Structure 1
Amino acid sequence: MTIKHLLATCLAATAFFTACKDSPNTSDPDPIDPQSSLYSVWAATESGSYLLTTNSLMKDTLLSPKNNKGIDITSHLPAAFYAIYAYNHDGKFYLSNDGKRFSQFEVINGSQWKETSAFSFANNFFLGKVLDNISTPQELVLTKTAGTTNKEKNVLEQPIYYMNTAKLAINKTLNVEIPMIKFTPKQPNGQNDDPYIVPTSMTVRGDKLFVGHKYRSHITKQDIIDTAYVYVCDFPSLTNGKIIKDHRGGFTAGHWEINKTTFLDDNNDLYIMSRRTNSSSYGLLRIKAGQTSFDPDYFFDLKDYNVFSNSSSLIQKLGAGKAYISPYVIDPANKKIIADLRILVGGGESRTTMNFMENGKLYDVFKTDESRWYVFEYNPETNTVKRGAEIDPGVTTVYHVNKLK
């Protein structure tokens, strides 16, 4: 028996699944109580995109866009392309989908989708990384997808915006300058390539900023160097910068949209996902607390596990030394797989762009092997799941599951 088969057998044997009725209560109109907590599921059908709202994700009910129960957001978020440029922060949605306009939207009374503020950038803008651990309800700290290559300085200039959430105005801007390596590969036809930098992560830890980045070919638009590069500098002064690199696991995984491929554990150790070019072979690198170089004694090879089947998934810190890298719950410090949530939920997969934590529990959406969509609650302390609301079977994709208030 292989290790993977043994893991699956053990997890299946120990899993605890709280079953609901085969069919949820669809006769209940499930009215929204404006005084209660509010949650939303952003789902897409063949005809458009909808926000499905509810006061409880764990209620035995059916969330559906039919009969005007879903908020139609098709004109603003029509397809998967925009899921990677949309973020929920402090109950409000922030999105960019036309190349310059940055918008704030709110759900009003659980049934109306309203743009409450907007900011127009002078130049090209799509929402990139969100620095959530230094953002506040009053200020969203973010960057855009692609900076500007300064060939004279031989750097990528990547802005960091401090956005006032009350009036959607920029309080201040920092400009990180990431040095570019000297690398001029040639294509088989002899044409010189001119690789460019893509920022894959931004993490602030104390007085240091860590910017993961990778190199892509201008000709093929493919990742081309199997080396993890991270630019480290003082923060917020952005001085004393240096490049650190590691060859063991490939490039720093991810792309320039909002997906988050790093996390800080309870000890303040920084973990960074890596990936091999032209493969789905992932791994974890570590920069220990107080250090500014890769830990030479640590590499968690995940090549046997299909993590990040959706490149836009967000890594979620669970606490107590655990993290969620869809679909796995891992113990990164001890290089262990704790659970495969596909097994705990009875089969299926998750392709969400955003999940969230509340009261120490993880909430995510899975499409089961029977092609039925459900919200699931995962308890890291007990390693158990509970099944919540079902989502209309006509849904083709679920992008976000969020708490709005």
Structure 2
Amino acid sequence: MKKLNWKNVSAMLLATVCAVPLIQSCSKTPDNNKGPETPVTPKAYAIFVTVGNASSSENYYTLTAGDLMKDTLLSPVNSGVEPDNITFWVDIYSAFNGGNFYYTQDGNIISKQRIVNGKYKEIGNIVAGADSWQLGMMKTVFNSSGLNFLSWEAKYDPATDIIEKNLYIVDTTGAMTVKSKNAIKFPVPTYKLYRDDGKELDKKDIAITPTSFTIRDGKAFVGFYYDWVTKIDTAYMLAFDYPALTNVKLLKDARLGHVSGAWYASSSSFTDDNGDYYFTTISKDKKYGLLRIKKGATEIDPTYAYDLKDLGDISSIASWGSYAGIDHHAYLKDGLAFLGSYIIDVRNKKVIKDLNSFGLGKVQNTMDTYTENNNDLYVVLKTDDARWFIAKYDVTANTLKRGVEVHSGIKGISRIGRLY
């Protein structure tokens, strides 16, 4: 596990950020204050940015804004809020909900933090055994039970020929308390898996990779694939009772490829206002598709398969043999969903708009997709001259407008969220 020194920002990083005008000082905001703290008026929104490059350590900052559509320039220098004890994996094994940021530290700690008076403050944490990855959060779902997440660790049970991966349910109403930790039972594949060197993969080494996760109507659904080396063009989905984890059922569909997405925070699935659950697939030739499970059903709908091959690769890093790409899909309203840079009518299988066609910049993939009122979709744009903007797409008006600009010295923006 790679660790970063968050008390020292690299000279190269600061030189890059400071090279642009309008920045008066490049000293970091002090971590300690002498005397009593002056209360800071909270801002409504958070923009999570990454700074760094291949020759320097990455650093993570949260920029706050009262209005995402204001014509202003934000920079991590002096105004960026930096969490303490953040690791390289902060963007991957993390979640943001209700103004709270949850992230895994070295796989055995999950810290709950929020911004208080302009600084991150830990509200609570849960701890597992040292040198474990039990608390490495993969897919997450927040519901009335709290934070639900799939653990990184998987264990093969030779007695039952089952691969077990734990589902944690964590009470997050105050600090953090583990309510339950129970194993989801994945069947071992009937076909052989192979390593990079061509040798057969041992069952105990099979890595279950969840790509989508939802909970609805007393059932949980986990889209997954067994291994990213072996080329199997079949979508697998596990359905089971929630929270009992009983009545496990394996769903399979070979029409459009395997389930798309990676194991971390990004979402490759969504539920519409009819209660129908949609999830994306990707084929061997990197073409996307869309399948669904109807409300109340525990079978993949045999009457629905939306081939998105004409859109090409809607994920920035989608490739067979990698992690099938970062997906950031979100449901909006009236059958419209956001996939890649596209607004799509998923019920009628029709592309409504490519947001890149507005000419304001290219939509950047993020870990989360932030929406308001099921109508206002906030996206990250990057222009040809490397300027970064937050933009709002109005679903009803079918318009895209740029708002806050983020300093061009950053490496990327992982998510947008609401603080309160």
Q: Could you state the TM-score of these two structures normalised by the residue count of structure 1?
A: 0.83
Q: Within the alignment, does 1:394 sit opposite 2:404 as a pair?
A: no
1:200 maps onto 2:207 in alignment: no
Structure 1, residues 46-92: CA drift from partner, whole Å, max 9, x if none?
262211111111111101012x1111348515x5x431112111101
Cα deviation per residue 1:95-153 (whole Å; 9 max; x = unaligned)?
A: 013121111111112x2122222211123231111123x246xx222222343222321
Q: Deviations over 1:145-193 (max 9, x none)?
A: 3432223212221222121211211012232212222222567987333
Task: Return the offset for 1:270.
Answer: 1.2
Matches within 5 A, 1:171-250: 171-185=179-193, 191-194=199-202, 196=206, 197-216=208-227, 222-250=229-257
Match of 2:18 in 1: none
Partner SS, residue 70 of structure 1: coil
Superposition deviation, residue 331 in structure 1: 0.9
C-alpha distance 190-212 of structure 1, shift in aligned 2 (>3 A): closer
For residues 35 and 359 of structure 1, the distance between their equivalents in structure 2, rounded to whole angstroms, comes to: 25
How far, CA to CA, are the matches of 2:100 and 2:195 in structure 1?
46
Structural mapping, 1:6-405, within 5 Å: 34-35=40-41, 37-46=43-52, 48-66=59-77, 68-73=78-83, 75-77=85-87, 79=88, 81-109=89-117, 111-122=118-129, 123-124=132-133, 125-132=135-142, 134-135=143-144, 139-165=146-172, 166-185=174-193, 191-194=199-202, 196=206, 197-216=208-227, 222-277=229-284, 279-305=285-311, 306-309=313-316, 311-344=325-358, 346-360=360-374, 361-405=376-420
* Structure 1 spans left out of the alignment, 5+ residues: 1-23
Amino acid at match of 2:326: S
Q: Name the amino acid aligned to 2:414.
A: Y
Which amino acid in the other structure matches residue 320 of structure 1?
D
Structure 2: give runs of 5+ residues left out of the alignment: 1-20, 25-37, 318-324
Cα distance in 2 between the residues matched to 1:190 and 1:84: 29
Structure 2 counterpart SS, 1:147: strand
CA distance in 2, matches of 1:129, 1:272: 14
CA distance 1:186–1:50, change in 2 (3 Å): closer
Distance in 1 (CA, whole Å) between partners of 2:412 and 2:64 is 16
Q: Which residue of 1 aligns with 2:13?
A: none
What is the SS of the residue equivalent to 1:304?
A: helix
What CA deviation, in whole Å up to 9, does each residue of 1:233-276 have, x standing for no partner?
22233222221111011111122212211111111111111112
Give 3-state SS (helix, strand or coil) of 1:131's partner: strand
Call closer, same or farther: CA 1:189–1:75 in 2, change over 3 Å: closer
Identity of aligned residues (%): 33
RMSD over aligned CA atoms reads 2.6
Question: Kindly tell me: are residues 291 and 232 of structure 1, through their superposed partners in 2, closer, same or farther at Cα, counting changes over 3 Å?
Answer: same
- In structure 2, relative to structure 1, the CA distance for the partners of 1:247 and 1:130 (3 Å cut) is same
TM-score, normalised to structure 2's length?
0.80
> 2: CA distance between counterparts of 1:59 and 1:189?
53
Higher relative contact order (Cα pairs below 8 Å, separated by 6+ residues): 1
Number of residue equivalences = 367
For the structure 1 residues 393 and 159, does the alpha-carbon distance in structure 2 shift closer, same or farther, using more than 3 Å as the test?
same
State the match for 2:9 in structure 1.
none
Question: Which letter maps to 1:126?
Answer: G
Measure the CA separation in 2 of the matches of 1:151 and 1:44.
Answer: 43
Once the two structures are TM-superposed, the CA of residue 389 in structure 1 deviates from its matched residue by 0.6
